[in-house]
Amino acid sequence: MTRVSVIIPTYNRARTLPRAIDSALAQTVDDLEVVVVDDGSTDDTSSVLAEYDDPRVRPVVHATNQGANVARNTGIDHARGEYVAFLDSDDEWRSEKLERQLETLDGRSEEWVGVYCDAAFELSGTDGWLRSTAATVLARGNDRPAMEGGEELIGEILADNVQPGAGSTLLVRTDVARDIGGFDEQLDRFQDPEFCLRVLEAGNLAYVDEELVIREETAIPPADVIKNADEQYLSMYDETVERFESDGYEIRSSHQLILAKCYFSEGRLLRGLWHLRQAAPSRRQYPGLCWAAGVGVRRRPVPIVATVAFVLVAIVLTQGAVARRVFTD
């Protein structure tokens, strides 16, 4: 049996697809196959795949576009490996990625069914340097959550303290991926953590503390879309959320913080503040909030200024009314 089946779902990414495939073929683990699921692409993807004269590359083609989750599940169905590892077609792996993950699982009991690693974004320019520096400083906090295990990881993932990122960082036993039903094809967002939550129902996840994946930033959907998807995701685990929140995990407030940053980034300050008031951000999260607000100001400077002026006027009028009541009384 092949050791690892690498599953690359792709749709109209002929420009970045070769980098992803090449990084899979360049792994220091030789016993692998690369299952590329072309999800109905209309660009030059077919020509890109035709250029690979390597028996390890196995294209599977959808006649029409069906979505990334369906494409990943098609890859799982066609996998011949003991493990499946997912790789988005705009990301790439360090050459030792699979080797380090397999080494981590070697010698552990059968309870350990998968392993994930860290990823780094490919950022350039001054903005990229600032964001990378901020992320490094914030990562040095003393309140780092448990990064591997079983039951304890469920609360950390729901609270967004741990992001296994199944799309490009996860390696999991193929039989487990099949037994849990693959990726939820009804989810447009949060499919990666949701998949990992079901993996954790089957066993433990290990962790490699190395940045073995290079991600390319992609467009973020509108905040309203993320809000609807977030509500759908949390509603699927309503009882689990209640259980872990009773144990002290701040799950719903963490998701309100996510939404606040999304709205801030769009320049929708009032909507962002509405979600922020339901969150409980720590000091380590302030820089991220400020960054999101700064992005929003650059996108919509006039509406932001008008909103800030409105808020300031409201504060002044409120304080004036309070002062009048004090003197009247």
Three-state secondary structure string covering 140-188: CCCCCCCCCECHHHHHHHHCCCCCCCCCCCCEEEHHHHHHCCCCCCCCC
6 - beta bridge partners? Answer: 34, 85
Residue range(s) occupied by CATH 3.90.550.10 in the chain? 4-216
Whole-model pTM?
0.84
Model confidence pLDDT, tens digit, residues 183-237: 999 988 899 999 999 999 999 999 999 999 999 877 788 999 999 999 999 999 9
Instruction: Give the tokens for residue 153.
Output: 């990881």
Distance, in Å, from the CA atom of 148 to the CA atom of 115, rounded to the nearest integer, reads 8
Of the candidate CATH numbers 3.30.930.10, 1.20.1730.10, 3.40.50.1860, 3.90.550.10, the domain formed by 4-216 belongs to: 3.90.550.10
Task: Walk along the chain (329 residues) in steps of 10 and give the mean pLDDT of each run.
Answer: 96 97 97 98 96 96 96 98 97 97 94 96 54 45 76 93 88 98 92 96 96 86 92 94 93 92 88 86 72 75 52 44 47
Please state, in angstroms and rounded to a whole number, the distance separating the CA atoms of residues 318 and 92: 54
Tokens 């801030």 -> residue: 264
Structure tokens at 54: 């390597």
pLDDT tens track for 222-251: 999 999 999 999 999 999 999 999 999 999
Residue 321 has what pLDDT? 46
Query: Across the strands, what pairs with 300?
Result: none
Give, as one character, the DSSP assignment of residue 87. -
The CA distance from 142 to 283, in Å, is 12
Residues composing the chain: 329
Task: Give dist(CA 206, CA 148) in Å, integer.
Answer: 5
